[in-house]
Amino acid sequence: MISTIICSLIVTLYGFTYLKNIKDYHYKDAKTILNVSHSSLMSLGCFLHLNDIISVNTILLNYYLIVGFFIFDIYYILHYNIKNELLIKSIHHIISIIGVYALVYDHSIGYIMSKLYLTEIVNIPLEVRYVCIRYNTNKHYYKDIAQVFIYILFLITRIIYPIPDFIYVCKEKPWFYCADYIFIYSLWCYWFIIINSKLYKKIKSYYLK
C-alpha cells in the first residue's frame, strides 16, 4: 500500500514537472491534465468494479494511486500559495483517505466506496470550465455545456444517488463509517449550495439586463 502511494506521488510529480518544464505548459494547464487523467482513471475503475469486471483488490490499487495524487494536490496548493483551497481540499482529501483505509480492513464496503469515488467524474467538466475561464473563451459553447454537465452530474452522483447508501451505512455499519459518510456528504452539499448560489446570481443578472 505505502509503496504504491509513494510511486503514485512520484509519477504524478514527474508528470507535472514534465508538462510544465519540458512541454512548456502553464502550471495550471499541467494541473488540469493531471486532474482529468486521475479523475478518468478513478471513475473508470469504479465503474468496472461496480459491474464486477475488476476485483476489490484491483480497485484498491486504484485508490492507492489517487491517495498519491491527493498528497500531490496538497503540495501543489502549498507551493502555489492557493490559500482559498487549502482548508476545503485538505478536509476532502483526509475524509477520502479515511474511506480508503476503512476499505483495506472491510471489503464489504467495496461497492459503496466505488459509488463514492465514481463521483470523481464531475471533475472532468469542471476542469473544462476552468480552462474556458482561464483563457476567457466560450468557443463552441464549451463552457456552457461544461456547466450543464457539472450541475447534472453533481446533482445525480453526489446529492441524490448517495442517499440510500448514506442511510444504510448509518444504520448497519459502525459509527466511524457513518461519521465519514456524513462528513463527505455534508461537504458535497456545501459545494452544491455554492453551485446553486452562482447559478442564481447568473440567472438573476441575465434577466436584469
pLDDT at 137 over 90: no
Contact predicate 99/118, CB 8 Å = no
Helix (H, G, I), strand (E, B) or coil at 209: coil
pLDDT, tens digit (0-9, with 9 covering 90-100), for 75-109: 999 999 998 889 989 999 998 888 888 887 888 88
Amino acid 6: pLDDT: 93
Rounded to a whole number, what is the distance in angstroms from the first to the last CA of the chain? 56
Amino acid 208: pLDDT: 67
Q: How large a percentage of the chain has pLDDT more than 90?
A: 65
The model's confidence at residue 24, banded by pLDDT at 50, 70 and 90, is: confident
> Which residues are CB-contacts of 131 (< 8 A; sequence separation ≥ 6)?
29, 32
* Number of domains composing the chain: 1
> What region does 148 belong to: left with phi over 0, alpha with psi -120 to 50, or beta?
alpha
**Which amino acid is residue 183, in one-letter code?**
F
pLDDT, tens digit (0-9, with 9 covering 90-100), for 26-48: 999 999 999 999 999 999 999 99
Contact predicate 71/9, CB 8 Å = yes
Give which of 83, 80, 65 is closest to 31, Cα–Cα: 80
Stretch 135-153: mean pLDDT: 90
Structural domain boundaries, residue 157:
2-207
